[in-house]
Chain A
Amino acid sequence: GDSVTQMEGPVTLSEEAFLTINCTYTATGYPSLFWYVQYPGEGLQLLLKATKADDKGSNKGFEATYRKETTSFHLEKGSVQVSDSAVYFCALPNAGGTSYGKLTFGQGTILTVHP
């Protein structure tokens, strides 16, 4: 079945450092790929998405490129801020069968940014 694997965390960085959170997936076909962010005490928010191979999703300084050849969708940001501290989830929707778009999530990566 479909699966998503994220890099093990947590990740601790200083402000203005470069961020990479790795995400690889196994899926049937070529589904859309998503990154969600969850701030403390809140629900999940869609951060960015890519709908086909080689697409680059971007939002709030974050970027991720849909790499079909390496089945990856790594999240990057050039200069993190304290306000980026949150949990980040990579996810893909089941594209067929009886799952009706159920999202398969990675385990989540906790990011803490220090001043």
Chain B
Amino acid sequence: NAGVTQTPKFRVLKTGQSMTLLCAQDMNHEYMYWYRQDPGMGLRLIHYSVGEGTTAKGEVPDGYNVSRLKKQNFLLGLESAAPSQTSVYFCASSRQAAYEQYFGPGTRLTVT
């Protein structure tokens, strides 16, 4: 099992550009999450999904959109990137709510 994978691993964007981060899991988990990690801020939840076709907002959803068209994939989109979105983005999945989450290796995004 590959677990949770993320693509790309690194990306540099100019302000105003758009991009999509892809998360895939092969554990048949229902729940998937997108976090961002910033120095001194810990991990903050951006959006999450409780099943195929569902999405919900987390703590810091502004400027991001998500989609979960297939159970194994969870996409995070930035429509118009801003320097404040420079961060490391982690995807995670879990079998059910309140169970342990399994994390991907992360995507390091820089917006100039």
CB within 8 Å of B: which A6-55 residues: 31-32, 34, 36, 42-46, 49
**What number of B residues sit within 8 Å (CB to CB) of A?**
24
Query: Would you call the interface of chain A mostly helix, strand, loop, or mixed?
Result: loop
A32 and B102 contact, Cβ closer than 8 Å, known pairs A44-B90, A102-B45: no
Decide yes or no whether B101 CB sits under 8 A from chain A.
Answer: yes
CA distance A100 to B47 in the complex (A): 11
- Interchain CB contact under 8 A, A102 and B103: no
- Size range of the chain A interface in the assembly: 20 to 34
- Interchain CB contact under 8 A, A46 and B105: no
- Interchain CB contact under 8 A, A34 and B45: no
Decide yes or no whether B43 CB sits under 8 A from chain A.
Answer: yes
- Interchain CB contact under 8 A, A102 and B48: yes
Task: Indicate with 1 or 0, residue by residue over B50-63, a CB within 8 angstroms of chain A CB atoms.
Answer: 10000010100000
- Interchain CB contact under 8 A, A31 and B98: yes
A93 and B97 contact, Cβ closer than 8 Å, known pairs A43-B90, A44-B103, A46-B102: yes
Residues of A within 8 A of B (CB): 31-32, 34, 36, 42-46, 49, 89, 93-95, 98-103, 105-108
List 14 A–B pairs whose Cβ atoms lie within 8 Å, in order of A's numbering: A32-B100, A42-B106, A44-B103, A93-B97, A94-B98, A99-B97, A100-B31, A100-B48, A100-B50, A101-B31, A101-B94, A102-B33, A103-B45, A105-B42
